[in-house]
Amino acid sequence: MRNIKSLLRLHFEGGLSRRQIATSQRIAYGTVANYLARAAAAGITWPLPPEMRERELAALLFPTATPNRETAFAEPDFAALQHELKRKGMTKLLAWEEYRAAHDGAGYSYSHYCHRYQHWVGLQARSMRQVHRAGEKCFVDYAGQTIPIVDRLTGELQPAQIFVAVLGASSLTYAEATLSQCEADWIGSHNRAFGYFGGTTEIVVPDNLKSGVTKAHRWVPTLNDSYQSWADHYATAIIPARVRKPKDKSRAENGVQLVSRWILARLRHHTFFHISEANAAIAELLVALNDRPFQRLPGSRRSVFESIERDTLGVLPKEPYEYLHVRKARVHVDYHVEYQRHYYSVPHALVKAEVEIRASATLISIYARGQRIASHVRSTQHAGHSTHEEHMPAAHQFMNGWSPERFESWAADIGVSTLHLVRRQLTRKRHPEQSFRSVLALLDLAKQYDRVRLESACHRALTINSPTRSSVESILKKGLDQQPIKSASDTDLQDELFLQEHENVRGAQDFE
């Protein structure tokens, strides 16, 4: 009964019957009779005191009723509960059991406890409920938990990382294990996730992992070049979640939680000797996870995906994206760029220009201003050179004036031994330009030390038959250029002593 005063006024002033009052107030006849009987028992007369309010009148009619029955129970400390729930393994059920034990049963039921906590959380901060369109977003992340992969020979354990991808509308989930979170594995997992879904989404929402996001920013994050190339290949956009804003990737957070509970927890007693064995087990449990019925909604992740999201996905490219390691480089004076300690040529006109290297497993492609200017078969030879004849300038002359003659003139100013060593450096490679880096580094030692010491070190390096820049630098660092050289008959002994002192050569004492 919303207005008891109205009921009493109709009875006392209007003189209406109980049935007429029930019809007028749209309440049951028995309710009217109950209220009037309670008013008579409480000795209430008409008119009521002007200061009496509805709540006070209700208290007179229902003296045994408590206006707020919840005050009979101990109020939980929800602020402390929220802090405790951040701990790993802590649940609301455990917190409720501790709450009931602390108050000797004078506490809320578990359902009411959870209801009041959710109400309290809603009062703390307002947030916008996210509604995801079918085919719009795919959320990706790594699980914190790993799967150990055992080496059959050594018994060594390597933790395999768990990649998780979740579609926004249907929550269809994909998971796999990789040996690392490196750029190649990160992008490869994206390829296989889209292959599992059978299409692409408009947006991919990752966390700010370094393999994908070079620099995190609230509004304009900087993406890894390889990750951006992957997005271009699949015609999708990458919008990383904001830092410390887990609601931006709530689907991924929920997906990681489900994979941890329904897949990783079930595999905790399994032993895997290869990453493929782990992925086979994950794939089998992934079917059950996606077919598992929702608790509060009809259907499952699979059925919702089939009904509303499959047809909204974009078409996959004919070929999956081939991972490319993309990095910036500057063309050196010998018109080569360095990638993993091998040197690849570009047109000589680009000396000192910044270029982009895109490296696949078999090919090195070099771009300038968005145009491919050179391509080479990828080589693993350290300090080697891959050079195209058409990249060389006429007569091997550089626009900036570097030439073998200039280096020889520079060396001659220092001394005869320096000149001889530089000449030997320039004749080591197929083309003199390929030795320009080491020659420049050699002659640059005169700035760090002095010309007299450099000349003496070059003389000693020629004497011991080790005419390399690294040998000259080692002699200068150890001060051997300031020590007398033994007779020519002892050259072999000197060579042996020199090698024994080298920092990269181990002696018998290292194996005792």
60 within 8 A of 42, measured Cβ to Cβ? yes
Do 182 and 267 have their domain in common? Answer: yes
Which one-letter amino acid corresponds to residue 385?
H
CATH assignment at residue 149: 3.30.420.10
Last residue of a domain, one of 249, 278, 312: 312
Tokens of 203: 């947006």
> Are residues 357 and 221 located together in one domain of the fold?
no
If asked whether residues 290 and 161 sit together in one domain, one would say: yes
Residue 145 and residue 274 share a domain: yes
Looking at residue 218, what is its pLDDT?
Answer: 61
Inside any domain, residue 319 = no
- Positive/negative CA dihedral, 499, 501, 505, 506: positive
The answer on 377 and 338 residing in a single domain is yes
Please state, in angstroms and rounded to a whole number, the distance separating the CA atoms of residues 146 and 352. Answer: 45
SS3 state at 266: coil
**What pLDDT was estimated at residue 399?**
40
pTM: 0.50
Residues 149 and 291 in one domain: yes
Q: Are residues 155 and 243 in the same domain?
A: yes
Regarding whether 292 and 204 lie in a shared domain, the answer is yes
pLDDT, position 395 = 52
Closest CA to 345 of 393, 403, 380, 406: 393
Closest Cα partner for 353 from 340, 336, 339? 336
- Could you tell me if residue 317 is inside a domain? no
| Cα separation, 130 vs 250, whole angstroms | 9
In a domain, 132, yes or no: no
Rounded CA-CA distance 315/235 in Å is 9
Provide the b/e sequence for 395-425 (b: ≥16 CB within 10 Å): eeebeeebbbeebbebbeebbebbbbbbbeb
Would residue 401 be called left, alpha or beta, if left means φ above 0 and alpha means ψ between -120 and 50 degrees? Answer: left
Q: How far apart are alpha carbons 336 and 334 in whole angstroms?
A: 6
Residues 161 and 247 in one domain: yes
Q: Are residues 184 and 300 in the same domain?
A: yes
- Single out the residue in 355, 378, 396 at which a domain terminates: 396
Give the whole-angstrom CA distance, residue 226 versus residue 437.
Answer: 29
Residue 370 confidence (pLDDT)? 83
User: What span, in angstroms and rounded, lies between the C-alpha atoms of 144 and 165?
Assistant: 14
Both 428 and 480 in one domain: the answer is: yes
User: Are 340 and 389 found together in one domain?
Assistant: yes
Pairing of strands 203-205, 137-142: parallel
Dist CA 168 CA 251 (whole Å): 7
User: How many domains is the chain built from?
Assistant: 5
Q: In the listed set 103, 124, 145, which residue is the last one of a domain according to the structure? A: 124
Q: Which range of residues forms the domain containing residue 100?
A: 77-124
Q: Taking the CA atoms of the chain, what radius of gyration do you get in angstroms?
A: 40
Structure tokens at 20: 């007429």
Block residue for tokens 């895997």: 272
Q: Nearest Cα to 91, choosing from 99, 251, 105, 255? A: 99
Report yes or no on 110 lying in a domain: yes
Q: What is the mean pLDDT of each run of 10 residues along the chain (512 residues)?
A: 79 86 84 88 84 82 57 75 64 85 80 84 55 81 90 88 90 92 89 93 84 66 80 88 65 83 88 92 92 81 88 90 87 89 90 90 89 90 84 58 77 88 81 75 85 89 86 88 66 44 46 43
